[in-house]
Amino acid sequence: MTTIAVLGAGKIGEALLAGLLKGGRSADELLFTERHPEQAARITDRYGIAGVEVEEAAKRADVLVVAVKPQDIDPVLTALAPAVGPGTLVVSLCAGLPTSLYERRLPDGVPVVRVMPNTPMVVGEAMSAISPGTHATAGHVALVKELLSSVGQVIEVPESQQDAVTALSGSGPAYFFYLVEAMIDAGILLGLPRAVAEKLIVQSAVGAAKMLAQSTEHPVILREAVTSPAGTTINAIRELEKHGVRAAMLDAIEAARDRSVELGK
C-alpha cells in the first residue's frame, strides 16, 4: 500500500484526492492537511479521508503532494524538513517553485518531482506536465504519472520548460474562458438572449475541443473546413487578423511565461 498525503486541500488538492479515489485508491491510503478546520471536516465527511498535521503526514506518507499556494510554501518546508524521510517522494504542484528549492530545504537525497497541472483537474481533464528533480528516479516519475493519470493527461518535460508550460497549459483554461466570454458578449450584441448565446458558445467549445482531441488534423485544417469561399467565417477571420488577435495571443503567452520566471526567483 502506498500512502499519499496531499498538503493543502484547496481547489487542486481536493480535485486530486477525489480523482485518486475515483481511480481506485482507497480512503485508507490517503491523507490530507488543511489549515481551515471547516474545510478539513467537509473533506473528511465527503470522502472519508483523514486530515492530519503536516508533520504527521510527513511521517506516515510515502508520497507527499504539496498543493498550497506558492507564497505559503515556507512554513510547509519548515515543518517538513525535520520530519520527512529520505525514502519519501515529494511532488510539488506549486506554480513557479523549482525542485532545487525543495532539495535545498529538505534532507539530502529526498526525491522531488515538479508538476504543472491545470484547473480542468476538477472534471478529470487536467493537463499535467511533470519534471523530475536531481534525486527522482524513473520509478518516481512513473508513480507520479500514474497518480496524475487519474485526473487527466500527463506529459514529461525538462524542468527548464516549466515556465513555458505554466504560460500555455497552466494559464491556458483562462484564455479559453476569456474567449468564450467575449463570444457570448458578441451574441448579446447581435440581440440573442444571454442564455441562448451561452448555450451556443459553450457547446461549440465542447464540440471543437472534442474534434481537436480526436482528430489527427492540424487545427488549421479543421478551421479551413468551416471557412468556405466568400462565406461568413472568412469575413470573421479577416476581422480577427485585422485586430491582431494572433499577435496578441503570442504576446500574452510570452508575458505569462515572463511572470512565471519572475515568480520562481
C-alpha cell at 211: 474534434
Nearer to ligand NAP, 52 or 197 (CB): 52
Sign of the alpha-carbon dihedral angle for 38, 39, 42, 47: negative
Size of the site for ligand NAP (CB under 6 A): 27
31 scored as a contact of ligand NAP (CB under 6 A): no
77 scored as a contact of ligand NAP (CB under 6 A): no
Is 67 annotated to bind a ligand? Reply is: yes
23 scored as a contact of ligand NAP (CB under 6 A): no
Rounded Cα gap, residues 166 and 257, in angstroms: 7
SS3 46: helix
Alpha helical stretches, state H, the chain: 11-22, 37-47, 54-60, 73-80, 99-105, 138-149, 162-165, 172-189, 194-214, 219-225, 232-242, 245-263
Nearer to ligand NAP, 111 or 170 (CB): 170
**What residues contact residue 21 under an 8 Å CB cut-off, 6+ apart?**
27, 30, 47, 49
117 scored as a contact of ligand NAP (CB under 6 A): yes
Shortest distance in whole angstroms from residue 97 CB to ligand NAP: 7
33 scored as a contact of ligand NAP (CB under 6 A): yes
Query: Closest by alpha carbon to 186, among 134, 244, 140, 240?
Result: 240
Is 113 annotated to bind a ligand? Reply is: no
Shortest distance in whole angstroms from residue 213 CB to ligand NAP: 20
Is 265 annotated to bind a ligand? Reply is: no
Is 182 annotated to bind a ligand? Reply is: no
Shortest distance in whole angstroms from residue 9 CB to ligand NAP: 6
In the shown chain, the binding pattern of residues 47 to 76 toward ligand NAP, with x for contact by CB under 6 A and - for none, equals -------x------------xxxx-x--xx
Which amino acids are annotated as binding site, given as ranges?
67-70
Can you give the binding site for ligand NAP, defined by CB under 6 A? 7-8, 10-13, 33-36, 39, 54, 67-70, 72, 75-76, 93-95, 116-119, 170
